[in-house]
Amino acid sequence: MVYEVFARKSRGEPLRHIGNLNAPDDQFARVYAYNTYDEEKWFDMWVVPRDRLLEVFNRGDTEPPAPARKRAERGEAAAAQGA
């Protein structure tokens, strides 16, 4: 399973993506992340399975995300009803 790794150097700083890794489970992902990215003095570090990340948008997409499409469709339907 692929995990994305995020960390911050100090309290209050936003998390930033520092890399990714392959691990068989969450426990190994924590160990691998620590061993791979410990060259910096991090305040905290987080790992998340890539398949658990939720895409908000992607500028490369040709269509907007589903909620935006639904709003657009409702707007078009309302405009057609008013015409």
C-alpha angle 55-59-65 in degrees, rounded to nearest 5: 50
Contact partners, residue 45, CB within 8 Å, separation at least 6: 5, 6, 7, 18, 33, 34, 37
pLDDT of res. 50: 97
**pLDDT above 80 (res 1):** yes
Condensed to tens digits (0 to 9), the pLDDT of residues 38-66 reads 999 999 999 999 999 998 888 887 766 66
CATH H-level superfamily of 2-82: Phenylacetic acid degradation B (3.10.20.520)
Condensed to tens digits (0 to 9), the pLDDT of residues 11-37 reads 999 999 999 999 999 999 999 999 999
Q: Tell me how far CA of residue 5 lies from CA of 24, 39, 49, 50, 82, in angstroms.
A: 15, 14, 9, 9, 50
pLDDT of res. 57: 84
Q: How are beta strands 16-22 and 44-49 bridged, if at all?
A: unpaired
pLDDT of res. 16: 96
